Amino acid sequence: MPIWIIVVLCLLFLLALAYFSYNYRRHILGLDAPEKKIEVQILDKQTNRIIGAQPGEEDEEYWFYVQPLTGGPKREFMIGIHYYHALNPGDIGTMTYRGQQFVHFALKRQ
């Protein structure tokens, strides 16, 4: 087998690996993702215990589940404790997020 075929295959493999890494970081981890705002309704919220939390560290994480008002998939976001206590299921407002990272929620007063 000629050596140039092996070199081309290695280069294609490296190119595919770089493309996968870029897409994974952008779409799954949300790095360098654009900030988006959307009108949502809060469906539910919950707390999860963090197993193995050390003394002095946070031992719970807080989540809420939202449904876009214009339609679309239901999504879940990890939020801070202040948002967890301030928001309730059924609340409607504008949520700002970046990838899968929650940024802000502005409650719509009725």
Tens-digit pLDDT string for the chain (110 aa): 789 999 999 999 999 999 999 888 877 777 777 889 999 999 999 999 888 878 887 789 999 999 999 988 999 999 999 999 999 999 999 999 988 889 999 998 76
CATH architecture observed for domain 35-107: Beta Barrel (2.40)
pLDDT of residue 104: 94
* b/e burial code for range 93-108 (CB count within 10 A of at least 16 → b): bebebebeebeebeee
**pLDDT score recorded for residue 109:** 79
38 Cβ contact list (under 8 Å, min separation 6): 68, 70, 94, 95, 97
State if pTM tops 0.85. Answer: no
pLDDT at 24: 86
Domain regions of the chain by residue span: 1-32, 35-107
pLDDT of residue 106: 94
